[in-house]
Amino acid sequence: MSGFVTFEGIELRYGAHTALAGLDLSISQGEIFVLLGTSGSGKTTLLKIAGGFLTPSAGRIVLDNTDITALPSWQRPVNTMFQNYALFPHMRVAENIGFGLRRQGMRGRELASRVEELLALIRLEGHGARRISELSGGQQQRVALARSLARRPKLLLLDEPLSALDRSLREETRADLLALLKFLGTTSIIVTHDQDEALAIADRIGVLREGRLEQVGRPSDLYERPATRAIAAFLGAANLIPVRLAESTADTLSLALPGGATAIMPVRPIAPAGLLHLALRPESLTLTIGTGPNTLAATVEGATYRGATRDLRLRLPDGTPLRANLSPDAPIPPEGSALRLTWNPSRAILLDR
């Protein structure tokens, strides 16, 4: 592997429990890499290993051609922005930001001007003398970011950087964070459990599940070509419909859906023994009156008006639940009524895992 940061065969076991099972990952310089996973997936563990707070049972980490596996956290050119910020309560804003610089021996005017520079970067000029308790949540988030950027780390780790913020503040802060990281060109690993956040900020996403990287790729790759049912369901909440391969020709696959419907889609390699599922995004389903291939019949169980869409809860004849996000202009189908839906075959995803 030849990335700027490489994790090679990282393993972490506590007794019989395996937190990380032989993880390989390569990240290029200036990339924003998002580790996405539910709690217990091992994402925070990997971040702690990168930061030097946990020693892996096996494997090594190479950063900029240097093996840093054995370096303690205070000697690594890696800094972390901690979840909930962990700002030092007994220090002022400027002291917090300057803490890492002082450890490098920076003092006096040089220190003051570098701290002022960082304050300007996070648009908190003149706030250096404030107490931490006097700052708003958004301001604290920015101070924590500035503190972790102060030493110009080769690798920046961000643990759920936006999760402590109010929803209203999150989107704006997310854009600021992304712009700042891109402006500085800092190689970053961001840990999150929020798929929207991952899709919005990542250059690439790695989905962690049970200590393994299940898929790594650009946000659009993951969304359009998820490798597994779990990822399809997690990213974008796709409908998963069990299907059977009915016929395959040189360039198309014909699939049998529950209730006698069929789907026809471009050919692609599939595992012979795999249980097949068709993944259909709720937003790619539309109402139809047709009865040909790529349509299906469903019963309405309920509807929720969401402004931009009207979300239907449906059920297929075999009992498989289905969601469809239709245009709000569509007529409101009464509960219990039957309707037909169709989709663009190029948006359908066939999964064999």
User: Which parts of this chain interact with other proteins (CB under 8 A)?
Assistant: 51-53, 72-75, 78-80, 82, 86, 88-90, 99-100, 103-104, 131-133, 147-148, 150-151
Tell me the one-letter amino acid at 51.
G
Q: Which is nearer to other proteins, 97 or 280 (CB)?
A: 97
Minimum separation from the CB atom of position 169 to other proteins (A): 23
Q: Which is nearer to other proteins, 78 or 280 (CB)?
A: 78
Q: Within 13 A of 327's CA, how many CA atoms are on the CB side?
A: 6
- The answer to whether 201 touches 230, Cβ cutoff 8 Å, is no
Q: Which is nearer to other proteins, 105 or 260 (CB)?
A: 105
331 Cβ partners below 8 Å, 6+ apart? none
Tell me the one-letter amino acid at 326.
L
Minimum separation from the CB atom of position 98 to other proteins (A): 10
Q: Is 198 exposed, middle or buried (0-12, 13-18, 19+ CB in 10 A)?
A: buried
Nearest Cα neighbor of 44 from 84, 96, 92 is 84
Q: Is 129 exposed, middle or buried (0-12, 13-18, 19+ CB in 10 A)?
A: exposed
* Cα 240 to Cα 222, 277, 323, distances in angstroms: 16, 6, 10
Q: Count CB neighbours of 214 within 10 A.
A: 20
* Cα 351 to Cα 287, 308, 324, distances in angstroms: 24, 29, 19
Q: Which is nearer to other proteins, 148 or 195 (CB)?
A: 148
- The answer to whether 79 touches 157, Cβ cutoff 8 Å, is yes
Q: Which is nearer to other proteins, 29 or 104 (CB)?
A: 104
Q: Which is nearer to other proteins, 4 or 82 (CB)?
A: 82
Minimum separation from the CB atom of position 80 to other proteins (A): 5
Q: Which is nearer to other proteins, 42 or 51 (CB)?
A: 51
Do you know the residue count of the chain?
353
Q: Which is nearer to other proteins, 106 or 180 (CB)?
A: 106
Q: Count CB neighbours of 34 within 10 A.
A: 25
Minimum separation from the CB atom of position 139 to other proteins (A): 15
Token reading at 230: 């779990």
Q: Which is nearer to other proteins, 188 or 294 (CB)?
A: 188
Q: Which is nearer to other proteins, 156 or 240 (CB)?
A: 156
Interstrand relation of 310-315 and 321-326 (parallel, antiparallel or unpaired) = antiparallel
Q: Cα dihedral sign for 66, 71, 75, 79? A: positive
Minimum separation from the CB atom of position 197 to other proteins (A): 22
Token reading at 334: 């009464």
DSSP string for 126-183: T-TT-BGGGS-HHHHHHHHHHHHHTT--SEEEEESTTTTS-HHHHHHHHHHHHHHHHH
